[in-house]
Structure 1
Amino acid sequence: MTVADLPKVELHLHHEGAAPPAFIRQLAHEKRVDLSGIFTSDGAYDFRDFTHFLSVYEAASTVLTGPEEFRRLTIAILEESAANGVVYSETFLSPDFCGGGDLHAWRDYLAAIQDAAGEAEAKHGIVLRGVVTCVRHFGPDKAKAAALCAAETTGDWVVGFGMGGNEGVGKQGDFGWSFDCAREAGLRLTTHAGEFAGPDSVRDAVRILGVERIGHGVRAIEDPDLVHELADRGTTLEVCPGSNIVLGLYPNFAAHPIARLRDAGVKVTVSTDDPPFFHTTMRREYEMLHEAFGWAKEDFAALNATALDAAFCDGNTRDRVKKKLETT
C-alpha cells in the first residue's frame, strides 16, 4: 500500500466547489443555461486569479437551483472522495447557495443532502458531516441569516459553523454576532484566515471569533510569535497545499509551509478545498507531500489522527471512523 492508498480524513471541502465540471455542464445543458465562458477548451474550470475564481465558482453554482440538484451533487462528490480513499469528510454548505438564506428552503436542501450522504455511506462507506458557512463578501447581514439556519438545524449531522469567501472584504470581528449565535447553539467553529490575508487575520480569528480550527492559516508562518500561539492553543489548521499553489501563494509543494508549521508543533491537516478547480484529489495531495517532504505512512497516519481528533462529529461517529482508519 502506497501513501496515496491510505484511508483519509478531509476537513476542508466546499460543497459547490467540489462539483465536477462535467456535472455542472450537464446541469447547464438540462436547464439550457450558457456557462461556456467559465470553462477551458478541454472542459475544465477557467479562472485567472482568486477573485476571478470566486466569480467562476458562483457562476457554476447558478445551475444548482433546488434540493434535487444538491442531492445529485452530493452523490457525485462522495463517489469521487471515496474513490480517493476518504473515509470521513466535512463539507462546507452555505444557505446562501441552498435557498438564499431562507430557513424553510434550507431545511429542504439539507434533507436532500443528508439523504444522499446516507446513500453514499451505505454504498461506499464514506461518512459525511456538514459545516454551515457564511460567505464573507456577502456581508454580515447575510452571515446572520446563515448562522440562524445553522442554529436551527444543529444536530448529529450539522456539526459546525464557519466562514469562507474573500478575505479582503471586512474583518473577522464584523461577523462576531453570527459566530456567537452558532456557538450558543452548540456548534463548533472554524473560519478562513491566513490565506490571502496575513497573520493578523489568523490572530483575529482565534482571539476575536474564538474558533478552534482555521481554514488554511498558512500565512501564520510569517509571524513566529503567532506560530507559537497556535501551537500553545492547540488550534488546528485545515491546510490545502494544492489549492495554495494553484492560486499562487507558493510556487510548489517544497516551498509550502505545512512541514515547517508541523515541525513547530502546530496541528495541521490536509484537504483539497475545491478539488476540480485546483486539479487535485486527496490521493494527489498525499503523493505530492510524500515527494516534497519524504513523509511516510506513519506521518500521514499521524495527520489523519490529528484530523479525526479535530473533526466536529460526535464521539460515536469518531469511533466508527477510527476503526476505518485502523482496518482499511
Structure 2
Amino acid sequence: MPVKAELHCHIEGAASPELVARQAKKYGRDTSPFIQDGAFVWHDFTSFLAAYDFSADLFRSEDDYALLSEHYLSSLARDGAIYSEFFISPDHATKAGLSAKAYTDALGEGIRRANAKTGIEARMIVTGVRHVGIEAVEQAARFAAKSGNPMVTGFGLAGDERIGEFEDFVRAFEIAREAGLGITVHAGELTGWQTVEEALDHIRPARIGHGVRAIENPDLVKRIAEEGVVLECCPGSNIALGVFASFAEHPFPALRRAGCRATLNSDDPPYFSTSLKREYEIAAEHFAMSEADLAAVTRTAIEAAFIDRRTKAGLLAKVDARSAHRRL
C-alpha cells in the first residue's frame, strides 16, 4: 500500500470511541446511548448528529483539543499517512467556552506533537457552518484570515447543504481568498449535482468536499475535469449515509475515468466504521485500483494541499520514493 494523504476530515468527528470514552470518564458523562461494544451507535442522520454532538461536547479545554489532534494524526501516521488536513469550527470553541484562537492554537499544538513523534505534516481548514447563518460564516472567514496561526491554511463551508444559497456566502470567501487561504466547499453529497454547479459558479473553489453527485450531469463532470477542481471523495461515508446504495454504484472510478482529480478521505471516520487506511483498501477492493493508481491519488491530494511549496515538494518526494521502492 502506498503512503497516504487526506484532505477531508472533521476533527471533532475523528475522535475514536476509545478517546471519547476516556473524555466521558473525565467529565462524568454516560456513553451508553452513543457507544456500545467499542463503536458509535446511530441509525439515521439525526441520531448520527446526536452522537457526534455528544462526543464533540467532551472536548472542552485547550489540553483536550491538543490531545484530540495529536491522537488522530498519530493514528493516521501509524497507518502510513504523511499528510492530513482537517476541518475546524470556531463554533465548537464557543460551545466549549474557549476563544477561537485558544481552540485553534490548541489543535495546532497537537499537530506539532504528532509531527515530532511521527513526522506527519498537517494543516487546518477553518469552516463556516451554512445553516448557522451568513453572518456566522463571514465571522469564521474573518477569524481564518486574521488567526495568525501558520497551521491555518484554508477556509471552507460545511453544514446542511439544503439551507442557504452559495451566492449568500460569496463575501465570506472573498475575505478568505484575499487573505491567501485555500478554498474548499462541501457540495454534492446529500443534495444533487446542482449544488456542485452553484459552488463552481459563485465560489470558484480549488476543491469540493464530496462532489460525487456531479456524476448525475455529464456536462458538469466535464467542467470539473477541465477546470482541474479537486474532489475530496469519501466513499465509506457516502455508503454509510445512503448517498449510494453500494460501492459498486459509487462514482469514484467513473469520475477518475472522466479526467476528474479525485482523492480518498475518511470524513468522520469512526462513525462510518472507516479510516483513511480503510478508504484506500475500499478503492483497491471495490474500484480495482492498483498500488500505482493509489499512489497517484495520494500525489493528487498533496498537489492539491493548502501548504507551502517547500513542504509540498518534500511530501511529493516521499510519494515518489515509496513508489520507486515498490517497483524494485
User: Structure 2-normalised TM-score?
Assistant: 0.94
8 Å contact from structure 2 (residues 60, 96) kept in 1: no
Paired with 1:166 and 1:186, the residues of 2 have a C-alpha distance of: 26
Q: Quick one: which amino acid aligns to residue 80 of structure 1? A: S
1:91-130 matched pairs, under 5 angstroms: 91-100=86-95, 105-130=99-124
Q: Does 1:51 align with 2:46?
A: yes
Q: Give secondary structure in 1 for the equivalent of 2:259.
A: coil
Q: 1:122 to 1:327 in 2, by over 3 A?
A: farther
Tell me the residue number matched to 2:33: 37
2:69 to 71, 74, 83: 74
Query: How far off is 1:296 after superposition?
Result: 0.6
State the superposition RMSD in angstroms.
1.7
Q: Does 1:83 align with 2:78?
A: yes
Paired with 2:57 and 2:96, the residues of 1 have a C-alpha distance of: 15
Q: 1:101 to 1:69 in 2, by over 3 A?
A: closer
Q: Give secondary structure in 1 for the equivalent of 2:87.
A: strand
Superimposed CA distance per residue, residues 114-170 of structure 1 (whole angstroms, 9 cap, x where no aligned partner): 122111111111101011111122222221221111011256421100011211222
Tell me the residue number matched to 1:64: 59
Identity %: 41
Superposition misfits of 4+ residues, deviation over 3 angstroms? 99-102
Tell me the residue number matched to 2:18: 22
Q: Does 1:253 align with 2:282?
A: no
Q: Quick one: which amino acid aligns to residue 22 of structure 1? A: E
Q: Which of 245-254 and 184-193 deviates more?
A: 245-254
Q: Give secondary structure in 2 for the equivalent of 1:166.
A: coil
Q: Quick one: which amino acid aligns to residue 122 of structure 1? A: A
Q: Does 1:235 align with 2:229?
A: yes
Paired with 1:224 and 1:281, the residues of 2 have a C-alpha distance of: 30
Superimposed CA distance per residue, residues 161-185 of structure 1 (whole angstroms, 9 cap, x where no aligned partner): 0011211222222222211111111
2:276 to 282, 305, 318: 282
Q: Give secondary structure in 1 for the equivalent of 2:85.
A: strand
Q: Which runs of 5+ in 2 are unaligned?
A: 323-328
Paired with 1:205 and 1:52, the residues of 2 have a C-alpha distance of: 28
Q: Which runs of 5+ in 1 are unaligned?
A: none
Q: Does 1:265 align with 2:259?
A: yes
Q: Give secondary structure in 2 for the equivalent of 1:90.
A: strand
Query: How far off is 1:19 after superposition?
Result: 0.4
Q: Give secondary structure in 2 for the equivalent of 1:248.
A: coil
Superimposed CA distance per residue, residues 42-93 of structure 1 (whole angstroms, 9 cap, x where no aligned partner): 1321222223322321221111112111001111101211111110000101
Tell me the residue number matched to 2:326: none
1:120-199 matched pairs, under 5 angstroms: 120-153=114-147, 156-199=150-193
Query: How far off is 1:12 after superposition?
Result: 0.4
8 Å contact from structure 1 (residues 240, 272) kept in 2: yes
8 Å contact from structure 1 (residues 129, 159) kept in 2: yes
Q: Give secondary structure in 1 for the equivalent of 2:92.
A: coil
Tell me the residue number matched to 1:221: 215
8 Å contact from structure 1 (residues 95, 101) kept in 2: no
Query: How far off is 1:107 after superposition?
Result: 1.5
- Count the aligned residue pairs: 322
Paired with 1:147 and 1:11, the residues of 2 have a C-alpha distance of: 19
Superimposed CA distance per residue, residues 241-300 of structure 1 (whole angstroms, 9 cap, x where no aligned partner): 010011111122221100000000111000011110111112211112111122111111
Tell me the residue number matched to 1:12: 8
Paired with 1:321 and 1:98, the residues of 2 have a C-alpha distance of: 31
Q: Quick one: which amino acid aligns to residue 254 of structure 1? A: A
Paired with 1:241 and 1:34, the residues of 2 have a C-alpha distance of: 31
Paired with 2:79 and 2:106, the residues of 1 have a C-alpha distance of: 24
Tell me the residue number matched to 1:306: 300
User: Structure 1-normalised TM-score?
Assistant: 0.94
8 Å contact from structure 2 (residues 61, 96) kept in 1: no
8 Å contact from structure 1 (residues 206, 212) kept in 2: no
Paired with 1:136 and 1:242, the residues of 2 have a C-alpha distance of: 24
